[in-house]
Structure 1
């Protein structure tokens, strides 16, 4: 059975598609070492009851982290900003390469097949960008087209997927790979404040990649890919919403005292995001002529317990609907831009999607921004 139902009409701000874009593979990777929340507290000698409460009530059981080495006195060494950038480069190259290889293996493609590479990260800055470094490191063709999306935060995976889907639609039959690589261990400030406690209790290292290929709508050119099999959904559209009144609610600031960048999360942001979720989701679905009840699978960014609950309640979702979102938070913490792909990978491994099912993807991050996408198996 081939799914060639008409694509939704493009919005005024959207470019017209020339092909049906399918997600044909996914892969994930993490750093080697993982720690429970009590272990992290003990490693850094955190005894403040309020800070410990933030860690222990996070709904996170374990995260992959790259802990700084011990000094001669047994305490963990401080990492200047330069060392954090070097850590990011090392971790990102390793995780990114493993995620891309896993993605290609699941899709049946090889490194030589990759025509386009998009790299997403917010946990470090590199010039040349991660895409150039991965092309050299992995032995991809020097002629591979590439782009780096840097600093957009946890929502960036869907921003990038939108752009990569556009490239795929304009280049039917060619293989595009998007990889989200977040070395969150390279973006930490360790001190005794509640500001850093919230961040330090939440994020973990992780990378996730997807492979996209578009079928041609021009019968004369022949089909390159028909996204009809379970596990290979086609992308129907995207919708975004920027909450301009909360533009500073999630941000990187320079900390003069620490001489590092420090991430800030406003404690009210879960409720702000939840309050705006309906607007953008309903706009996404209305373009395809469907309702929330028509969506069988929900893949929401594992931003934290409060934000997941706020989105779930405002959209009228069940705990079962967000089981993969909460499961990823429990087992990995918030892995930033790649979190929703960890959930997507779990959904496919569960083998629950059936041909014709709709899936809604949602990410949230700095801006403050809500990004969504609609897919169909």
Structure 2
């Protein structure tokens, strides 16, 4: 018995940053201290980003911050985004927070104990017996992996309502002290956002989660992740992700689809997490898609930047608005290094 997608909603914080303004400020902070900065500065214009959002005003990021300040900003911003996205998703499903039986929370950009779902429970109106599943560490794969987890929980208890919330405040990991290519790339890409959806198994629905799967590459811990130091998280990007995608993505997806008893030819549409413009190009190359096929991926990157886990669900929202074909495959890559996939079946 498959889980049905009842609703999907997205949310961004109030502070919008134009990419051209970020580039100008980054020159001031990194240009004189980073010998190779001029060579790396083109990264900002090659991302495909026009605008992105942050939980703090632009000026806040121009002062060195430590764990206490970053954590305070995380708790305030993540709770607000959680409530906004979750409330929209529940309203769209004609449900109240008290109707939620399970809440799955995906976040890798801040630490909260009690977890975010508990911190917002009273304001949301969750029942005292709600099942809470907070998940940390999935990174950019979290949109697909979170949907996979939530769908299996819905299947385990048909008729119950499962709320998935992905919240990422990637801008809080921006660092003024790290003179590395990885930090420059993060500064050029990272943004904040949240997405929420409601699933239920057992009573139909136009869009069904058909199958899920993952692929973990061995010896790839250095591809993507966090370093942790007294100032906060610092990004790890020690391999060229577009090159990795070009050579490794299709064989992994072929294995995943094989376990689903499908192949690439059975997929009517790919819905992919875009790390940036070059990653989108690499995905199209790897999957032999016509250039420009991933138009919603490029549109979301342009309008919102890379928000990590929620980004894939922003793209799914746009795709739903335009109309899903019979079968779509959601794909995302994240720390591990992992590919996570979800197959959707849609009834016209």
TM-score (norm 1): 0.84
Q: 1:194 aligns to what?
A: 181
- Candidates 312, 323, 328, aligned match of 1:359: 328
Instruction: Encode CA deviations 1:104-139: one digit per residue, 9 max, x unaligned.
Output: 122222222111101010110000011111212312
1:87 to 55, 73, 92: 73
1:62 and 2:51 are equivalent in the alignment: yes
Higher Rg of the two aligned structures: 1
Q: What's the CA shift for 1:147? A: 0.8
What displacement does 1:254 show? 2.9
Task: Tell me which residue corresponds to 2:105.
Answer: 119
Partner Cα separation in structure 2 for residue 289 and residue 160 of structure 1: 22
CA–CA distance in structure 2, aligned partners of residues 69 and 343 of structure 1: 26
Aligned counterpart in structure 2 of residue 49 of structure 1, from 14, 17, 38: 38
Secondary structure at 1:201 match in 2: helix
> Offset of 1:341 from its aligned partner?
0.3
- Matching residue of 2:204: 226
Measured in 2, the distance between the counterparts of 1:339 and 1:133 equals 24
Structure with the larger helix share: 2
Residue 209 of structure 2 corresponds to which residue in structure 1?
235
Partner SS, residue 373 of structure 1: strand
Aligned position for 1:269? 241
Q: Distance in 2 between matches of 1:25 and 1:169?
A: 17
Find the counterpart in structure 2 of residue 3 from structure 1.
none
Distance 1:104 1:319 in 2: 36
Q: Which runs of 5+ in 1 are unaligned?
A: 1-18, 216-224
Matched, 1:244 2:218: yes
Q: 1:70 to 1:180 in 2, by over 3 A?
A: closer
CA RMSD after TM alignment: 2.0
Name the TM-score, length of structure 2 as normaliser.
0.91
Structure 1 Cα separation of the partners of residues 252 and 214 of structure 2: 6
Task: Encode CA deviations 1:150-185: one digit per residue, 9 max, x unaligned.
Answer: 122111222222221111111111100111000112
Between Structure 1 and Structure 2, how many residues are aligned? 338
1:213 and 2:200 correspond: yes
Q: Deviation at 1:320? A: 4.4
User: Judging changes above 3 Å, is the alpha-carbon distance between structure 1 residues 317 and 29 closer, same or farther for their aligned structure 2 residues?
Assistant: same
1:338 maps to 2:324: no
Would the aligned equivalents of 2:222 and 2:239 in 1 still touch at CA under 8 Å?
A: no
* Alignment of 1:368 onto 2:337: yes
**Could you say what secondary structure the match of 1:26 adopts?**
strand
Aligned to 1:307: 279
